[in-house]
């Protein structure tokens, strides 16, 4: 502070006070921001220091430069450029700006934001007040009080800061966000600059939030097409669809022309203020210039490894210096300084120009490589560019320094394009085809490997590496087969480079799908695996056998490379989907997941060659623990994804003795866990492995269960349970033995402890990658336990069930299920197994049925969440290769429904279960699940819904509320399986039967056309249920009478009266009867039904005869227009004959229908002529049925009234 003098306070905010100040002994005016330490913890202060360090390195003409910083016990002080006039003041004065002025401002802001985002910095408080305009028109972005620097592992931040008026929707909703939040703010600012007001503007805070989230942006007609397109791209409410780099920089509204670039560079070079700042740095730092993060090419984001940006030294007039980069002299100078004189290599890394010199030299020099011919014989000699070694030595020393000091200067290495040029140099040197070039190739690969190794320390290196790795892939095959590589040094360093490339790929495997694809297309795996060929392990160029040391290195490097590819030990692990509403999957899920294909390919290639396979097994059985573990990682993933490898593993000699040996080996935790998982995989995918060990199965089971009870390694316990569950699945005999040994030991107690005390979320974070590698998880920690109990449920006995409940195991499992909210404990298959276990337990003894299904908390917090749409969505997005997707969801929904079905089997519990399921909106959840499951698995959910709708009209109301008409139309499509059609027909028929209020919903579904088609369906069950549906649709009123004509349903119904299926005939009569019940509007069309109805009065089934009699009676219920046809067809005689029917129901309905006939004179005359009075008198005398007597009284009244 002694070097500055405060002039006046010019601002104050939540982050501190801002003063105008002056550097003492100079005329340099600065802005000084004081940030208090009070209220900040140690971590926040440490982060602030780191952030200041990074922001201090920013150097861009459109960003206010941080000149200096220091701190006291109470506060930090940041010294910055001082500028006057911001956009807010201009808006206050001028109201709005012309589009061409806005475009000029936009181009500069785009450059500033691109610079920040390229270095993983989010501004987070973009607003007009933070955008300054200098007198020369240059725009400067300022006030990084809210800025956040993004590391490679935390691309998204979640804390909310900034001005609500300019906030992106994801910010105001307190959702995770990334750099695109700045781009939304940019759109709001540009919109306001041109129109004078922001797109969403209100004084009410909460109204503003709702507008930002929900309201569309309204664009004025005055703006150009290009400007509107640009704003629409920025102001997209979905961050992923928002205009982003590199497309943003290439948009026609802000694309920088050659004229723009030349003018910008000229103004920048001549900027008096920039010269003052450079001079000021000289005063502060005691040397001219400091290191700043480089200005990237705005058209490349991330950078594509092309030519480095122009970094030529400029003199005071802005003219380029004549000294060219990349000359032999420049390399010699640097080598003399940092290698010979041993100056601190950090000095070189502080100067971008030095790295540019090295990069340019390597690229241009290797282009000139030609073998030198010595003597007449044309013997090849050393390539004529000796300084290549010096350049490589410099880079290697710099990279070692970066690794040792954890320096962020690794960014500089990649941004200088040195590594890109070195890859091209390798290509050029191989083209040289020289024996002596082999050493330079090997050394260059060694440096590339070191660079890839330290790339994780660089904030922006990850993007560079993603672009460089494919270029490495393209030359791998040429490198591992290089004919001059007699000592295998090229091959060894190629494998080393690939190891680090694979580590990079697996850090974020879900985001590096493209790299995995390019790896496969370049045949990289084949090239790596070929290094294990026996021929490859002999000397190249007929030089004889390798030394044991070189052979070991080559095998070790190959296995390490394959291990990093198939089973990385660190990187992104995508947690399992969870039932919790709070937790969500940890990454965006890419269903087209290439990593599994890489693992399958690796296993297939290893299995295809017995020599490679046995070499891998030999390395695993070897004495080198590091190599043994790597080999085990490859074996595990190969067996996991390659059936060919698993089958090959099953044929391994002496497997009978090897498996128990593997399981009981006392090794490091990681190794013993993986050994158990390999065995579990073998038992699952190649069960023939179990056959050789059956003779010793009892000893094996005792040993394994003893290990389970005695170890304190909970991860190992989970792995052991995986083995036991696979063994139990092999046969009922082994299942019974496992259960017996399990019950005789302390296993239940250990399981309870495992369920009660283990912090699985912590284990998942620290240990999960060690078990399965990075990427999508395959199984949960507790899957083994659940699978084992589920296998036990196939052979349940009372002793096991009693011990399971009385030991407290069920209670511990229940309590655990109620708090299941981490991403590592139970997979989708595990959840299915839980429901299978519960179903079997509840079905075994009624007492336990009520104990489980009357547990409201369990139903509410476990069963229902399993089919809640939010959960189902997670599972549906999970890869099918990990038992997710449609297949996994289908299995889960079916299991849950099976358990819930049991709630209706016990009369004592059914009522309570129904009430609770209704409160939980179970109908809604089951219906919503249908859109995520396979259509051929709809039967069980629809059957459950049918049961609910039949049980209570309340469920029917829920069904009408949540089942969309489109869903009903889809379900009623004639191509669906008959079982599915029958279930949905039953449900809709029940809705129609319950009450007429549901008719409007059924009408909204517009199913007339489907009904007509289903009446002709090949399946008799479908035809009969469709007839029943039509009957119920006409039960309460005539709402659907018009549809029966419009869709030709009535004609098909009449045809169904002669159907070969007796049930269809029965319901066809029922439907026709209701079609004539409410009025006579359909009588003309129903005339054709008279003959088949009369025929059905002789049907074998009494209910059909009764329905036919009732239908004939309804044909005269509303008018006499069909009386003549009925009489002439003999309907009256046939109904009188039915009065003697052997079935009481048929007699009753026939009698009632004859009562309808009595209303009409022509019918009465016929009846009188048939001695009808005498017939009913005799019937009345013989019958004691009150209903028949009531019907006879009705007839007598009608006959007597006439």
Q: DSSP letters along 1154-1190, please?
A: HHHHTTSHHHHHHHHHTTHHHHHHHHHHH---HHHHH
Query: Does residue 27 share a domain with residue 52?
Result: yes
Residue 232 pLDDT: 92
Residue 625 pLDDT: 82
* Cβ atoms of 500 and 452 closer than 8 Å: yes
What's the pTM value of the predicted model, to 2 decimals? 0.63
Residue 325 pLDDT: 40
Three-state DSSP at 553 gives helix
Cα gap 876→1103, rounded to integer Å = 47
1198 is in an annotated binding site: no
Which whole number is the average pLDDT over 313-326?
35
- Is residue 534 a part of any domain in this protein? no
Find the farthest-apart pair of alpha carbons in the chain and give their distance in angstroms, rounded. Answer: 140
Q: Give residue 301's pLDDT band: very low, low, confident or very high (50, 70, 90).
A: very low
Per residue in 197-244, pLDDT (tens digit) is 888 887 777 778 888 888 889 988 888 999 999 999 999 988 888 998
- The tally of CA atoms less than 13 A away on the side-chain side of residue 1130 is 9
CA dihedral 945, 951, 954, 956 (to 10 degrees): 40
Listed in sequence order, the DSSP H helices in 902-938 are: 907-919, 922-929
Highest mean pLDDT among 124-128, 295-299, 426-430, 937-941: 937-941
Residue 1093 pLDDT: 96
H or E element at residue 5: strand 4-13
Which two three-digit tokens encode residue 879?
């890869």
CATH number at residue 790: 1.25.10
Residue 87 pLDDT: 64
Cα gap 503→497, rounded to integer Å = 10
* Cβ atoms of 678 and 715 closer than 8 Å: no
Which two three-digit tokens encode residue 923?
């109908």
Residue 975 pLDDT: 92
Residue finishing a domain among 81, 104, 135: 81
Q: How many CB atoms lie within 10 A of CB 576?
A: 30
- Is residue 338 a part of any domain in this protein? no
Residue finishing a domain among 789, 822, 855: 822
Residue 462 pLDDT: 67
Does residue 356 carry a pLDDT above 70? no
Using left for φ > 0, alpha for ψ between -120 and 50, and beta otherwise, residue 1185 falls in beta
Q: Give residue 1092's pLDDT band: very low, low, confident or very high (50, 70, 90).
A: very high
Residue 1015 pLDDT: 96
Q: Give residue 369's pLDDT band: very low, low, confident or very high (50, 70, 90).
A: low
Which whole number is the average pLDDT over 1058-1078?
96
Per residue in 500-542, pLDDT (tens digit) is 888 888 777 666 778 888 888 889 999 999 998 766 565 444 4
Select from 108, 266, 261, 242 the least CA-distant residue to 183.
242
Q: How many CB atoms lie within 10 A of CB 864?
A: 20
H or E element at residue 16: strand 16-23
Which whole number is the average pLDDT over 1076-1087?
95
Does residue 1177 carry a pLDDT above 60? yes
Query: Does residue 808 share a domain with residue 692?
Result: yes
Highest mean pLDDT among 271-285, 784-798, 1079-1093, 1186-1200: 1079-1093
Q: Give residue 765's pLDDT band: very low, low, confident or very high (50, 70, 90).
A: very low
Q: Which of 479-488, 685-694, 844-853 bottoms out in mean pLDDT, i.e. has the lowest?
A: 844-853
Residue finishing a domain among 81, 102, 133: 81
Residue 294 pLDDT: 46
Is the pLDDT higher at 548 or at 156?
548
CATH number at residue 987: 1.25.10.10
Mean pLDDT for all residues in the chain = 79
Which two three-digit tokens encode residue 56?
């201090």
- Is residue 1147 a part of any domain in this protein? yes
* Cβ atoms of 385 and 366 closer than 8 Å: yes
How many structural domains compose the chain?
5
Query: Does residue 696 share a domain with residue 806?
Result: yes
- Is residue 96 a part of any domain in this protein? no
Q: Give residue 657's pLDDT band: very low, low, confident or very high (50, 70, 90).
A: low
* Cβ atoms of 507 and 533 closer than 8 Å: no
Does residue 1026 carry a pLDDT above 60? yes
- Is residue 582 a part of any domain in this protein? no
Per residue in 690-747, pLDDT (tens digit) is 877 788 888 888 888 988 898 888 888 888 898 899 999 999 999 999 999 988 888 8
CATH number at residue 36: 3.30.200.20
Residue 320 pLDDT: 31
Query: Does residue 923 share a domain with residue 994?
Result: no
Residue 1045 pLDDT: 94
* Backbone angles phi and psi of 31, in degrees to 5: -110, 135
Residue 497, preceding bond cis, omega within 30 degrees? no
Highest mean pLDDT among 42-51, 535-544, 582-591, 1050-1059: 1050-1059
Would you give the distance in Å from CA 557 to the centre of its chain?
Answer: 34
Residue 458 pLDDT: 55
Q: Which of 429-443, 795-809, 825-839 bottoms out in mean pLDDT, i.e. has the lowest?
A: 429-443
Listed in sequence order, the DSSP H helices in 196-224 are: 205-214
Question: Which range marks the domain in which residue 709 is found?
Answer: 653-822
Query: Does residue 1116 share a domain with residue 1067?
Result: no
Q: Give residue 161's pLDDT band: very low, low, confident or very high (50, 70, 90).
A: very low
H or E element at residue 69: strand 66-71
Q: Give residue 1186's pLDDT band: very low, low, confident or very high (50, 70, 90).
A: confident
Is the pLDDT higher at 1195 or at 94?
1195
- Is residue 624 a part of any domain in this protein? no
Residue 334 pLDDT: 66
For the chain, percent of residues with pLDDT exceeding 90? 25
Residue 926 pLDDT: 94
Query: Does residue 878 share a domain with residue 847?
Result: yes
Listed in sequence order, the DSSP H helices in 246-342 are: 258-270, 272-285, 328-335
Using left for φ > 0, alpha for ψ between -120 and 50, and beta otherwise, residue 933 falls in beta
Query: Does residue 812 share a domain with residue 680?
Result: yes
Is the pLDDT higher at 1110 or at 715?
1110
Which two three-digit tokens encode residue 1160?
């009409």
* Backbone angles phi and psi of 8, in degrees to 5: -160, 155
Cα gap 843→852, rounded to integer Å = 10
Q: Which of 88-97, 918-927, 1149-1158, 1169-1178 bottoms out in mean pLDDT, i.e. has the lowest?
A: 88-97
Does residue 116 carry a pLDDT above 70? yes
Cα gap 78→1167, rounded to integer Å = 112
Which whole number is the average pLDDT over 1094-1118?
95
- Token pair 């032999």 is at which residue? 328
- Is residue 1143 a part of any domain in this protein? yes
Per residue in 959-985, pLDDT (tens digit) is 999 999 999 999 999 999 999 999 999
Query: Does residue 834 share a domain with residue 816?
Result: no
Using left for φ > 0, alpha for ψ between -120 and 50, and beta otherwise, residue 162 falls in left
Q: Across-strand partners of 121?
A: 149
Does residue 770 carry a pLDDT above 90? no
* Cβ atoms of 784 and 725 closer than 8 Å: yes
Select from 167, 151, 171 the least CA-distant residue to 159.
171
Which two three-digit tokens encode residue 135?
């007198």
Per residue in 447-485, pLDDT (tens digit) is 888 888 877 655 456 667 778 888 888 899 999 988 888
H or E element at residue 77: strand 75-81
Per residue in 888-919, pLDDT (tens digit) is 889 889 988 988 887 776 665 567 777 888 88
Which two three-digit tokens encode residue 216?
């569309």
Query: Does residue 804 share a domain with residue 657?
Result: yes
Does residue 831 carry a pLDDT above 60? yes
Using left for φ > 0, alpha for ψ between -120 and 50, and beta otherwise, residue 1048 falls in left
Query: Does residue 832 share a domain with residue 728?
Result: no
- Is residue 250 a part of any domain in this protein? no
Does residue 638 carry a pLDDT above 70? yes
Does residue 546 carry a pLDDT above 60? yes
Cα gap 363→360, rounded to integer Å = 5
For residue 715, count CB atoms less than 10 angstroms from its CB and return exposed for 0-12, middle for 13-18, buried for 19 or more: buried
Residue 680 pLDDT: 78
Cα gap 314→337, rounded to integer Å = 23
Query: Does residue 1057 share a domain with residue 1112?
Result: no
Query: Does residue 904 share a domain with residue 788?
Result: no
């Amino acid at each position: 502070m002694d070097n500055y003098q405060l002039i006046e306070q010019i601002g104050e905010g939540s982050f501190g006070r801002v003063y105008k100040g002056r550097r003492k002994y100079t005329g340099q005016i600065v802005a000084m921001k004081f940030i208090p330490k009070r209220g900040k913890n140690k971590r926040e202060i440490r982060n602030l220091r780191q952030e200041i360090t990074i922001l201090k390195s920013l150097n861009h003409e459109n960003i206010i430069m941080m000149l200096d910083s220091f701190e006291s016990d109470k506060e930090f002080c940041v010294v910055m450029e001082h500028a006057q006039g911001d956009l807010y003041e201009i808006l206050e004065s001028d109201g709005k700006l012309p589009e061409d002025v806005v475009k000029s401002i936009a181009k500069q802001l785009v450059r500033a934001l691109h610079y920040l985002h390229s270095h993983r910095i989010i501004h987070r408080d973009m607003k007009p007040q933070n955008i300054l305009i200098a007198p020369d028109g240059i725009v400067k972005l300022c006030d990084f009080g809210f800025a956040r620097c993004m590391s490679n592992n935390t691309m998204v931040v979640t804390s909310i800061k900034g001005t609500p008026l300019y906030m992106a929707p994801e910010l105001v909703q307190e959702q995770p966000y990334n750099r695109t939040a700045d781009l939304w703010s940019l759109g709001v600012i540009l919109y306001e600059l041109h129109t004078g007001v922001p797109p969403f503007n209100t004084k009410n805070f909460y109204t503003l939030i709702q507008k930002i989230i929900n309201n569309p942006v309204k664009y004025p007609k005055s703006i150009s097409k290009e400007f509107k397109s640009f704003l629409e791209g920025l102001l997209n409410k979905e961050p992923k669809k928002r205009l982003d780099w590199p497309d943003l920089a290439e948009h026609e509204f802000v694309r920088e022309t050659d004229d723009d670039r030349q003018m910008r560079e000229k103004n920048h070079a001549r900027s008096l203020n920039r010269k003052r700042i450079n001079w000021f740095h000289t005063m502060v730092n005691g040397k001219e210039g400091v290191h700043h993060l480089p200005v990237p090419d705005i058209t490349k984001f991330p950078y594509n490894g092309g030519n480095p940006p122009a970094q030529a030294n400029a003199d005071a007039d802005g003219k380029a210096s004549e000294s060219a980069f990349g000359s032999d002299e420049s390399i010699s100078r640097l080598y003399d300084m940092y290698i010979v004189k041993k100056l601190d290599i950090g000095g070189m890394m502080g100067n971008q120009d030095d790295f540019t010199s090295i990069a340019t030299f390597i690229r241009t020099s290797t282009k000139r490589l030609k073998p030198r011919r010595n003597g007449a014989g044309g013997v090849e000699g050393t390539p004529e560019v000796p300084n290549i070694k010096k350049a490589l030595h410099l880079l290697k020393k710099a990279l070692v320094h970066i690794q040792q000091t954890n320096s962020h200067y690794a960014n500089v290495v990649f941004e200088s394009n040195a590594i890109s040029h070195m890859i091209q140099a390798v290509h050029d040197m191989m083209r040289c085809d020289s024996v002596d070039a082999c050493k330079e190739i090997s050394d260059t690969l060694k440096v590339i490997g070191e660079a890839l190794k330290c790339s994780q320390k660089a904030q922006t290196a990850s993007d560079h590496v993603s672009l460089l790795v494919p270029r490495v892939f393209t030359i791998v095959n040429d490198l591992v087969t290089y004919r001059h590589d007699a000592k295998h040094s090229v091959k060894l360093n190629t494998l080393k480079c690939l190891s680090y490339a694979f580590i990079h790929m697996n850090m974020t495997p879900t985001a590096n799908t493209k790299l995995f694809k390019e790896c496969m297309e370049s045949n990289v795996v084949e090239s790596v695996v070929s290094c294990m060929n026996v021929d490859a392990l002999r000397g190249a160029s007929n030089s004889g056998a390798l030394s044991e040391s070189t052979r070991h290195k080559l095998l070790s490097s190959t296995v390490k490379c394959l291990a990093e590819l198939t089973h990385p030990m660190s990187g992104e692990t995508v947690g399992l989907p969870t039932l919790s509403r709070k937790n969500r999957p940890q990454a965006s899920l890419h269903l087209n997941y290439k990593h599994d294909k890489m693992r399958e390919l690796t296993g297939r290639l290893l299995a295809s060659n017995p020599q490679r396979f046995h070499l891998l097994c030999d390395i695993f059985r070897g004495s080198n623990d590091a190599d043994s573990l790597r080999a085990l990682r490859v074996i595990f993933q190969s067996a996991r994804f390659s059936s060919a490898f698993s089958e090959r593993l099953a044929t391994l000699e002496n497997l009978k003795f090897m498996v128990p040996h593997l399981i009981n080996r006392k090794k490091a935790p990681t190794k013993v866990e993986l050994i158990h998982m390999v065995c579990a995989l073998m038992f699952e995918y190649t069960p023939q492995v179990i056959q050789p060990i059956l003779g010793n199965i009892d000893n094996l089971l005792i040993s394994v269960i003893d290990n389970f009870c005695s170890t304190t390694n909970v991860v190992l316990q989970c792995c052991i349970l995986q083995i036991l569950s696979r063994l139990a699945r092999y046969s009922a005999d082994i299942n019974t033995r496992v259960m017996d040994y399990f019950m005789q030991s302390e296993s239940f107690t250990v399981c309870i402890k495992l369920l009660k005390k283990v912090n699985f979320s912590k284990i998942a974070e620290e240990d999960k990658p060690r078990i399965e590698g990075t990427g999508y998880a395959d199984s949960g920690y507790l899957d083994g336990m659940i699978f084992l109990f589920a296998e036990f449920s196939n052979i349940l006995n009372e002793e096991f069930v009693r011990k399971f409940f009385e030991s407290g195991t069920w209670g511990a499992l229940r309590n655990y299920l109620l708090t299941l909210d981490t991403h590592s404990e139970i997979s989708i298959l595990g959840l299915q197994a839980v429901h299978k276990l519960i179903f079997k337990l509840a079905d075994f003894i009624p007492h336990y049925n009520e104990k489980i299904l009357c547990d409201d908390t369990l139903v509410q917090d476990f069963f229902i969440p399993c089919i809640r749409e939010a959960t189902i969505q997670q599972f549906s997005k999970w890869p099918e290769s990990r038992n997710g997707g449609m297949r996994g969801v289908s299995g889960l929904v079916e299991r849950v429904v099976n358990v819930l079905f049991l709630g209706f089997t016990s009369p004592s519990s059914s009522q309570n279960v129904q009430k609770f399921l209704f409160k939980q909106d179970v109908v809604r959840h089951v219906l919503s699940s249908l859109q995520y499951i396979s259509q051929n698995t709809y039967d069980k959910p629809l059957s459950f819904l049918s049961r609910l709708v039949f049980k209570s009209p309340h469920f029917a109301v829920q069904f009408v509320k949540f089942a969309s008409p489109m869903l009903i139309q889809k379900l009623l499509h004639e191509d669906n399986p008959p079982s599915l059609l029958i279930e949905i027909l039953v449900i809709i028929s029940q809705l129609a039967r319950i009450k007429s209020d549901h008719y409007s919903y059924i009408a909204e579904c517009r199913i007339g056309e489907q009904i007509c088609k289903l009446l002709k369906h090949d399946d008799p069950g479908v035809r009969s249920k469709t007839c029943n549906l039509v009957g119920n649709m006409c039960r309460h009123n005539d709402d659907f009478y018009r549809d029966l004509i419009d869709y030709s349903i009535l004609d098909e119904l009449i045809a169904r009266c002669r159907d070969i299926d007796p049930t269809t005939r029965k319901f066809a009569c029922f439907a026709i009867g209701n079609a004539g019940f409410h009025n006579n509007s359909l009588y003309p069309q129903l005339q054709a039904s008279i003959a088949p109805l009369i025929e059905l009065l002789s049907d074998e089934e009494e209910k059909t005869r009764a329905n036919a009699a009732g239908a004939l009676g309804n044909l005269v219920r509303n008018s006499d227009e069909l009386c003549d046809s009925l009489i002439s067809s003999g309907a009256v005689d046939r109904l009188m004959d039915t009065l003697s029917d052997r079935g009481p129901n048929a007699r009753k309905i026939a009698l009632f229908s004859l009562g309808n006939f009595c209303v009409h004179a022509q019918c009465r005359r016929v009846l009188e002529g048939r001695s009808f009075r005498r017939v009913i008198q005799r019937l009345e005398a013989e019958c004691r049925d009150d209903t028949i007597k009531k019907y006879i009284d009705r007839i007598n009244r009608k006959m007597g009234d006439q």
